[in-house]
Amino acid sequence: MQNKLKIINDPVHGFIRIPHEILFDVIEHPYFQRLRRIGQTGLLNLIFPGATHTRFHHALGAMHLMFTALETLRQKGIKITEEEEKGAMLAILMHDIGHGPFSHALENMLMDDWHHEKLSLLLMNKLNEEFDGQLSVAIEMFQGKYHRKFFNQLISSQLDVDRLDYLNRDSFFTGVSEGNINTQRIISMMNVCGEGELVIDAKGVYSIENFLTARMFMYWQVYYHKTSALAEFLLVKILERAKYLVSQGMDLPAGENLKYFLHRAKSSATDEDIYRFNQLDDNDIIHAMKSWQNSEDFILSYWCKSVIQRNLPKTVISTRPFDPEFVEEKIKKTNEFFGIDNGKELVHEIKRKLLPYDTEKQPIYLLQKDGQKIRLEESQDQLLSGLMVHKTARYILTFPRDISQIIS
């Protein structure tokens, strides 16, 4: 009989234990193995060459942190059954199973506004049928329907094990040290109070503030870096353009499964959609972009060459929207330079906004020594939380690099 209680060596957390056989069975399933071929950070490796880690890495790391968090809560006297432990670990293990190629960038392009969480849930239900209902508790927890609220908060909230893993992991692989947080310290401060709600022991206030600032720095320095934002935007435009050209009757070379989605009309998901979706990964998109560099459509060819050859368009960044006249001038020069009349397709304003700490959506609570809980931003000890409740925005204008020599 096969030993399923494996130990995995992870570069971020060290040794990760698989304490339940069902976890191993899910990890071995083709739905989960596909995550080895889905990058965690899209095209971020064009900017940070080390960022080649995958959703597979991240899911295992988040599962490990869930195990650590549950052990911590047990030590504080919180009763957690083995069934609940399995459920929580399965839920976080599968939380990203519905991610498509290049993750967030393309999730709306292939399946018409199907958010990855919706697809994750659909795939979880399919797996639950295969595993004779062993994932039922995990699905309840994932949906926030389980009667003990803290399990869902550990899976999805402003301070969940998902974020604790990806911040450290992305920091490690990009080499951006500002994202490095002390996950063990944060987890050691976790507690449960009242109606089964996740709280942080009050003495952990600065660890939480450090976590929030680290996340904010990672967004502006890494995820929303102007070239990162551009690369993600280009992926969307490439798929959008390809779908448009196919609708106009152009035959674009692509793998069978990608071709299926390029031709797919808007509709609710069918069994075939789900089957095809699970055959797709980053490699299909990269292979298609390599072919489309030679497309007779200038726009598609230009964008694909930009990504594959890493000859990316120019970007300028601003805290305010760009003057329409400035944008029009770029479009005019683009048309003149390339001898085309649809230069507006190559000039775009991209907007990125961030609210570092949302006090309305699942606020973080601190548990004081007297058993009372207070909001993080109301704590007398907080130093930065009060400053992180405001939205910040950046505007990025992208246009062909070739014309940047013509106009400043």
Q: Which of 178, 281, 174, 280 has its CA nearest to residue 228?
A: 174
Percent of the chain past pLDDT 70, that is, above it, reads 94
With 0-12 / 13-18 / 19 or more C-beta atoms within 10 angstroms meaning exposed / middle / buried, residue 217 is: middle
CATH 1.20.1250.30 is held by the domain 313-355+391-407 = yes
Q: Give 324: exposed, middle or buried? Use CB within 10 Å, 0-12, 13-18, 19+.
A: exposed
Selection from 23, 37, 32, 33 nearest residue 66 by Cα:
23
Chain segment 246-275, per-residue pLDDT in tens: 999 999 999 999 999 999 877 777 888 888
For 11-46, write each residue's pLDDT tens digit: 999 999 999 999 999 999 999 999 999 999 999 999
Q: What is the pLDDT of residue 48?
A: 96
Whether 226 has a pLDDT exceeding 60, the answer reads yes
Provide the pLDDT for residue 102.
86
Q: What's the rounded Cα separation, in Å, for the pair 108 and 91?
A: 23
What does the pLDDT read at residue 111? 63
pLDDT digit string (tens) for 337-396?
999 999 999 999 999 999 888 888 889 999 998 888 988 888 777 777 666 778 899 999
pLDDT attached to residue 112: 62
Identify each DSSP E strand in 299-372 by its residue range. Answer: 314-318, 348-354, 365-367
Q: For residue 207, what are the contacts with CB-CB under 8 A and spacing of at least 6? A: 181, 182, 185, 186, 189
Gap between the Cα atoms of 41 and 223, Å rounded: 8
In one-letter notation, the amino acid at residue 206 is: Y
Q: How confident is the model over 189-210, as a mean pLDDT?
A: 92
Q: What is the pLDDT of residue 407?
A: 46
Domains 228-309 and 313-355+391-407 share a fold: yes
Write the CB contacts of 324 (distance below 8 Å, at least 6 apart in sequence). none
pLDDT at 408: 44
CATH of 228-309, one of 2.60.120.1270, 3.40.228.10, 1.20.1250.30, 3.40.630.10: 1.20.1250.30
| Cα(209)–Cα(382) distance, integer angstroms | 8
Average pLDDT over residues 159-166: 96
Q: List the chain domain ranges.
A: 6-224+360-389, 228-309, 313-355+391-407
Predicted pLDDT at 168: 97
Most confidently modeled range among 59-68, 277-286, 331-340: 59-68
Count Cβ neighbours within 10 Å for each residue of 156-168 and write b for 16 or more, e otherwise.
bbbbbbbbbbbbb
d(CA 167, CA 158) in angstroms, rounded, equals 13
Phi, psi of 161 (to 5 degrees): -75, -20
Is 106 a residue whose pLDDT tops 70?
Answer: no
Give residue 290's identity as a one-letter amino acid code: K
Selected from 1.10.645.10, 2.40.240.10, 1.20.1250.20, 1.10.3210.10, the CATH number assigned to the domain covering 6-224+360-389 reads: 1.10.3210.10
- What is the full DSSP assignment across 139-172? HHHHHT-SSSHHHHHHHSSTT-HHHHHHHHHHHH
